[in-house]
């Protein structure tokens, strides 16, 4: 269920709220709305008394009341903000008209300091839009006066919100045609509506809503965190826990840019960020820094992952530790930059020429992004390998309450640089992990050369010898496979032997968990297994899969994990796909499970 | 280059200390041999412990260079050496980083990387071996090949206009550009040492003969018998004079440079003078555009200026932030600004 509070300056403008609710009804949602406006017909705009609002809840399932908290609040001025902010949930979207936060506006709302500057809005996802200016620009062609033109700004805001919740514009446009007799007013409102919608697309506002499985949160200290923040914090934590200085090189790309924005702030943690000239340069700089002994990481999204594939192969060959964060979005090509998909799994697994195995991890929730980054660095440093972490556009922008970890409970990632010149070779390996020696420039007596050409398995010098190449291919493969021994066993949610197992990975965790929890409470014979390690798979996976009659794999792709499971374990998995840029609904998982159990 | 003042880790080094144990695998007679020997020759003079030196290269014949230097080395991806070097130098400002590339690696596939490294003025030394051909892929034309060049991939002549590496570097904001050639040991050594001293990106183009796929491409310019007539040796503060008898010079006629004979009323004072340190890049642009046969080819340092350096700015920002905020504490960062208890 989602709830949104739209602004209303005056009672006469009520229809904007009703416009939204009626399109929601038409879109098949259950809708409850609660208009809230003052008794005065026209209380002075901008004062606390003059604030009107329209509270709306809509949901795909039955609802009985408006939601307790708002997920979105549109505040046209400081007064509207002050009056309604208490209802906005932590992490909720706060859309503000930045044109109405001048001193005068603040005074009218009795704000002593500008709330945009005091940090009091930090726990919300604040989206500042110069709504008045943009509206006036949008309606310019109609020749309306400044005053009349500015009145259209509610339609602009409505356009933004419509995009946010994927509502169609058509009905509202038809309604505008009917409602406003003066054609230039109708035209202006329609233009403002469209402009707001277009603005949201252009600045890539996200509509990602995250369904946290209903559970009683364990006691402790919490904060709100988005997936992007969690990835960034994970990088800084890994730097602190390894003693290595972090170097993040990245090229701006939606929806991964926020990681760069976050990390660029942490200079007092010794974090160095490079906004590279392109995707290839970004990963190349990361690998260069890894050669120098830095904690190397780069971030990107689908198209950038394609461009980085050659360099990832280089890191496989030179066996240098580098973490690649891939925030998946709709593809192929430019695809759906702001929507979530899980379509890069096979690219992460196999998207390189040659035999180039790479560990692949996937985060399940915004907060889990933090732990997956730490795990990625642990593996990268311990096994001297590039590691790919998969997030997605949904996780990146969604936020959830996050239990603040104890710094000292985080894994110790201190690497051991090789310093002994006695019989040194850069390709000598740890017999247990098969990781090669990491010797960094500045270490006397260990001068050596790395490169993408095949190396002799002992000396590390260039070698074109056929048997040596095969030996090296197998060594690199075996090294990644051995990571299996270093992973905790998987735990099945529900009975370990059952009729149906639902296997999930990545951000589908939320809806699958919610559905399974419901179904298990209703005593259906279904269990769940969630994978965070996708390469290598955990050791007990084969055994678990064999304990179920049927295996369902819901994914936001055409069955990529399903295919991997089939290939690796010879099991008859059933793929369940959704590719709409949106997560599965709980009800969709539920119906599919019931269908497979023959209970539908 | 920023040379760290650090005691040597061993006794004064010699050329032999920089020769690796790898067999050099360039074709016999290749110009690369002489470049390698002269780089190894000047290395001890830099007084940098060799463990602090890194040679980074891309792909191509020239890019095998790091394997033959007994320093740290990174033989990277085709065209991407500048990006690898950027990450390395930003992470490790204490290192002395050299970058070896070629006309294909640096100006074709890696044009973007080279452009942006020059623009940022990363503190590294670039040696661009220009042989006007693709050698490692066996003889296709390169971005510096002459238009009309007949190669395996252009049996009827190359339709491409060639790129001028000096003008390319200059327009990218290079703070040090120089040119030398593979048979001029003395000239190379001087330029390499100058490049090493410069703070910021030092960009050195080296005319290099590929005796297999493009033999003699620069012979009309630097062949011993014609060299003095066709090369303009640059020296800061000195007029542009060339010729066996030092009887030719270059002067400006309006905005156009022209070659003149000295004598008959024309003397040194009429000629352009080299100003290697000029902030204004007009002269450097003019010099970079001199090409054979209309003009003698300038050899030496065409331009050397100071500008801010990429890695140093990053270091400075870290310093400032540390002063302002104090060393970051992970616990505080994890807690963020709004914490509640459940």
Is there a contact between A280 and B80 if contact means CB atoms under 8 Å apart?
A: yes
Cis peptide before A255 (omega within 30 of 0): yes
Instruction: Give the bridge partners for A299, in sequence order.
Output: A250, A325
pLDDT at A491: 97
Mean pLDDT of B308-314: 97
Is there a contact between B51 and A447 if contact means CB atoms under 8 Å apart?
A: yes
Tens digits of residue pLDDT in A143-160: 889 888 989 998 999 888
Is there a contact between B91 and A247 if contact means CB atoms under 8 Å apart?
A: yes
**Residue A393 contacts residue A412 (beta carbons within 8 Å):** no
Please, what is the average pLDDT of chain A? 88
* Distance from the A40 Cα atom to the nearest Cα atom in chain B, whole angstroms: 37
pLDDT at A16: 44
Tell me which residue in B66, B116, B341 faces A277 most closely, judged by beta carbons: B116
Per CB-CB distance under 8 Å, the chain B contacts of A401 are 342
Tens digits of residue pLDDT in B186-216: 999 999 999 999 999 999 999 999 999 999 9
pLDDT at A53: 57
As a whole-number percent, the residues of chain B with pLDDT over 70 amount to: 97
Per CB-CB distance under 8 Å, the chain A contacts of B36 are none
Quick check: B330 pLDDT over 60?
Answer: yes
Quick check: A65 pLDDT over 60?
Answer: no
Mean pLDDT of A472-491: 98
Quick check: B141 pLDDT over 90?
Answer: yes
Per CB-CB distance under 8 Å, the chain B contacts of A443 are 51
Written as one string, the DSSP assignment of B102-153 is EHHIIIIITHHHHHHHHHHT-S-EEEEEE-SSBTTTTSB--TTSPTT---SS
Quick check: B304 pLDDT over 90?
Answer: yes
Tens digits of residue pLDDT in A408-442: 999 999 999 999 999 899 999 999 999 999 999 99
- Bridge-based pairing of strands B72-75 and B53-57 is parallel
Tell me which residue in A247, A441, A444 faces B9 most closely, judged by beta carbons: A444
Return the CATH superfamily for domain B15-217+308-320.
Thiamin diphosphate (ThDP)-binding fold, Pyr/PP domains (3.40.50.970)
A245 three-class SS: coil
Tens digits of residue pLDDT in B257-281: 999 999 989 999 999 999 999 999 9
Q: What is the ipTM of this complex?
A: 0.96
Cis peptide before A332 (omega within 30 of 0): yes
Handedness of CA A489, A490, A493, A494 (dihedral sign): negative
pLDDT at A600: 62
Helices (H), A112-267: 115-118, 131-139, 146-151, 153-164, 170-179, 183-202, 227-242, 257-263
Mean pLDDT of A555-582: 97
Going by C-alpha positions, the residue among A302, A481, A458 that lies closest to residue A385 is A481
Per CB-CB distance under 8 Å, the chain B contacts of A274 are 86-87, 90
What domains appear along chain A, each with residue ranges and CATH number? Answer: 2-202 (3.40.920.10), 222-409 (3.40.50.970), 416-486 (no CATH), 498-596 (3.40.50.920)
* Distance from the B101 Cα atom to the nearest Cα atom in chain A, whole angstroms: 14
Is there a contact between A407 and B330 if contact means CB atoms under 8 Å apart?
A: yes
pLDDT at B103: 98
pLDDT at A6: 45
Per CB-CB distance under 8 Å, the chain A contacts of B321 are 267-268
pLDDT at A206: 61
As a whole-number percent, the residues of chain A with pLDDT over 90 amount to: 66
Is there a contact between A407 and B331 if contact means CB atoms under 8 Å apart?
A: yes
Per CB-CB distance under 8 Å, the chain B contacts of A268 are 318, 321-322, 324-328
Tens digits of residue pLDDT in A252-284: 999 999 999 999 999 999 999 999 999 999 999
Tell me which residue in B71, B83, B326 faces A280 most closely, judged by beta carbons: B83
Place of tokens 């960094």: A440
**Residue A326 contacts residue A283 (beta carbons within 8 Å):** no
In the structure, what pLDDT confidence band is assigned to residue A14 with cuts at 50, 70 and 90? very low
Quick check: A29 pLDDT over 60?
Answer: no
- For residue A212, how many other CB atoms are within 10 A of its CB? 17
Chain A residue with the nearest C-alpha to that of B336: A223
Tell me which residue in B9, B75, B87 faces A287 most closely, judged by beta carbons: B87
> A274-293 in b/e burial notation, b at 16+ Cβ within 10 A?
bebbbbbbbbbbbbbbbbbb
Residue of A28 and A327 predicted with greater confidence: A327
Tell me which residue in B49, B75, B88 faces A449 most closely, judged by beta carbons: B75
Chain A residue with the nearest C-alpha to that of B67: A449
* Distance from the B115 Cα atom to the nearest Cα atom in chain A, whole angstroms: 9
**Residue A340 contacts residue A582 (beta carbons within 8 Å):** yes
In the structure, what pLDDT confidence band is assigned to residue A56 with cuts at 50, 70 and 90? low
Cis peptide before B293 (omega within 30 of 0): yes
pLDDT at A583: 85
Per CB-CB distance under 8 Å, the chain A contacts of B52 are 441-442
Is there a contact between A237 and B330 if contact means CB atoms under 8 Å apart?
A: yes
Is there a contact between A223 and B71 if contact means CB atoms under 8 Å apart?
A: no
Per CB-CB distance under 8 Å, the chain B contacts of A240 are 330
Tens digits of residue pLDDT in B31-89: 999 999 999 999 999 999 999 999 999 999 999 999 999 999 999 999 999 999 999 99
Is there a contact between A289 and B87 if contact means CB atoms under 8 Å apart?
A: yes
pLDDT at A485: 97
Residue ranges covered by each domain of chain B: 15-217+308-320
- For residue A433, how many other CB atoms are within 10 A of its CB? 17
Tens digits of residue pLDDT in A441-476: 999 999 999 999 999 998 889 999 999 999 999 999
Tell me which residue in A278, A292, A310 faces B95 most closely, judged by beta carbons: A292
**Cα dihedral A43/A44/A47/A50 (nearest 10):** 20
In the structure, what pLDDT confidence band is assigned to residue A1 with cuts at 50, 70 and 90? very low
Per CB-CB distance under 8 Å, the chain B contacts of A289 are 87-88, 90-92
Pick the range with the lowest mean pLDDT from A77-86, A206-215, B148-157, B176-185: A206-215
Q: Which of A275, A446, A449, A450 to mutate to test the interface with B (most CBs of B within 10 A)?
A: A449
- What is the separation, in whole angstroms, between the first and last Cα of chain A? 25
Mean pLDDT of A294-299: 98
Mean pLDDT of A52-71: 51
Instruction: Give the bridge partners for A300, in sequence order.
Output: A326
pLDDT at A71: 80
């Amino acid at each position: 269920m989602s709830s949104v509070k739209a602004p209303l300056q005056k009672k006469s403008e009520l229809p904007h709220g009703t416009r939204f609710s009626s399109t929601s009804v038409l879109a098949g949602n259950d809708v409850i709305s609660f208009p809230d406006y003052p008794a005065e017909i026209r209380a002075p705009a901008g004062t606390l008394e003059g604030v009107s609002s329209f509270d709306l809840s809509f949901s795909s399932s039955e609802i009985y009341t408006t939601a307790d908290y708002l997920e979105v609040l549109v505040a046209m001025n400081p007064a509207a903000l002050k009056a309604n902010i208490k209802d906005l949930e932590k992490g909720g979207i706060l859309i503000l008209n930045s044109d109405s936060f001048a001193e005068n506006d603040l005074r009218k709302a009795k704000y002593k300091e500008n709330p945009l500057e005091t940090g009091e809005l930090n726990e919300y996802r604040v989206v500042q839009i110069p709504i008045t200016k943009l509206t006036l620009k949008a309606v310019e062609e109609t020749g309306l006066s400044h005053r009349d033109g500015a009145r259209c700004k509610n339609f602009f805001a409505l356009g933004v919100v419509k995009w946010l919740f994927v509502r169609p514009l058509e009905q509202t446009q038809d309604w505008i045609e009917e409602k406003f007799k003066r054609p230039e007013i109708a035209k202006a409102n329609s233009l403002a509506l469209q402009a707001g919608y277009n603005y949201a697309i252009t600045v890539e506002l996200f509509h990602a809503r995250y369904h946290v499985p209903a559970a009683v949160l364990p006691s402790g200290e919490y904060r709100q965190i988005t997936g992007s923040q969690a990835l960034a914090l994970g990088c800084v934590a890994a730097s602190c826990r390894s003693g290595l200085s972090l170097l993040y090189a990245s090229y701006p790309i939606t929806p991964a840019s926020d990681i760069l924005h976050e990390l660029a702030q942490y200079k007092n943690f010794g974090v160095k960020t490079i906004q590279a000239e392109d995707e290839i340069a970004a990963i190349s700089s990361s690998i260069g820094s890894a050669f120098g002994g830095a904690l190397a990481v780069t971030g990107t999204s689908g198209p950038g992952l394609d461009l980085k594939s050659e360099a990832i192969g280089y890191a496989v060959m030179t066996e240098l530790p580098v973490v690649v964060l891939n925030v998946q979005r709709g593809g192929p090509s430019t695809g759906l930059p702001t929507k979530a998909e899980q379509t890069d799994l096979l690219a992460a697994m196999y998207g390189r020429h040659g035999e180039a195995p790479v560990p692949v991890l996937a985060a399940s929730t915004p907060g889990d992004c933090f732990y997956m980054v730490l795990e990625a660095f642990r593996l990268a440093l311990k096994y001297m390998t590039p590691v790919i972490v998969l997030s997605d556009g949904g996780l990146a922008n969604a936020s959830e309450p996050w239990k603040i970890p104890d710094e000292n409970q985080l894994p110790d990632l201190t690497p051991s640089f090789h310093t002994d010149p006695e019989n040194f070779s850069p390709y000598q390996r740890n017999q247990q992990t098969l990781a090669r020696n990491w010797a960094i420039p500045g270490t006397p007596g260990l001068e050596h050369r790395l490169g993408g050409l095949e190396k002799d398995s002992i000396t590390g010098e260039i070698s074109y010898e056929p048997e040596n190449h095969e030996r090296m291919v197998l060594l690199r493969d075996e090294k990644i496979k051995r990571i299996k021994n270093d992973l905790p066993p998987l735990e099945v949610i529900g009975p370990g032997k059952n009729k149906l197992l639902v296997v999930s990975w990545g951000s589908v965790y939320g809806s699958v968990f919610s559905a399974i929890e419901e179904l298990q409470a209703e005593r259906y014979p279904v269990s769940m297994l969630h994978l965070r390690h996708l390469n290598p798979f955990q050791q007990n996976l084969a055994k678990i899969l064999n304990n179920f009659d049927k295996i369902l794999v819901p994914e936001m792709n055409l069955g990529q994990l399903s295919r991997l499971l089939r290939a690796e374990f010879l099991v008859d998995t059933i793929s369940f796909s959704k590719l709409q840029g949106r997560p599965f609904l709980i009800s969709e998982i539920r119906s599919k499970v019931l269908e497979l159990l023959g209970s539908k | 280059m920023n040379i760290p003042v650090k005691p040597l880790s061993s006794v004064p080094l010699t050329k032999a200390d920089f020769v690796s144990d790898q067999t050099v695998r360039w074709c016999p007679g290749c110009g690369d041999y002489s470049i390698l020997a002269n780089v190894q020759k000047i290395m001890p003079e830099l007084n940098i412990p060799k463990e602090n030196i890194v040679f980074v290269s891309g792909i191509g014949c020239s890019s095998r260079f790091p394997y033959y230097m007994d320093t740290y080395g990174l033989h990277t991806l085709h065209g991407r050496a500048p990006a690898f070097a950027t990450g390395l130098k930003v992470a490790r400002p204490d290192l002395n980083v050299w970058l070896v590339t070629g006309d294909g690696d640096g100006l074709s596939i890696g044009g973007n990387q080279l452009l942006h490294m020059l623009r940022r003025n990363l503190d590294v030394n670039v040696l661009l071996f220009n042989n006007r051909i693709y050698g490692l892929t066996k003889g296709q034309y390169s971005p510096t090949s002459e238009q009309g060049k007949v190669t395996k991939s252009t049996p009827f002549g190359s339709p491409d206009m060639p790129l001028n590496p000096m003008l390319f570097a200059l327009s990218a904001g290079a703070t040090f550009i120089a040119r030398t050639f593979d048979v001029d040991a003395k000239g190379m050594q001087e330029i390499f040492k100058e490049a090493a001293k410069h703070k910021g990106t030092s960009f050195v183009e080296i005319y290099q003969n590929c005796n297999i796929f493009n033999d003699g491409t620069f012979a009309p310019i630097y062949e011993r018998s014609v060299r003095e007539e066709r090369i303009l040796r640059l020296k800061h503060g000195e007029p542009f004079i060339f010729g066996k008898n030092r009887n030719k010079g270059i002067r400006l006629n309006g905005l156009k440079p022209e070659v003149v004979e000295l004598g008959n009323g024309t003397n040194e004072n009429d000629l352009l003078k080299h100003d290697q340190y000029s902030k204004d890049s007009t002269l450097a642009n003019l010099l970079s555009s001199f090409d054979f046969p209309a003009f003698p080819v300038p050899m030496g340092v065409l331009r050397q200026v100071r500008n801010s350096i990429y890695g140093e700015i990053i270091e400075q920002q870290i310093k400032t932030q540390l002063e302002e905020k104090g060393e970051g504490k992970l616990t505080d960062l994890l807690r963020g600004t709004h914490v509640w208890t459940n």
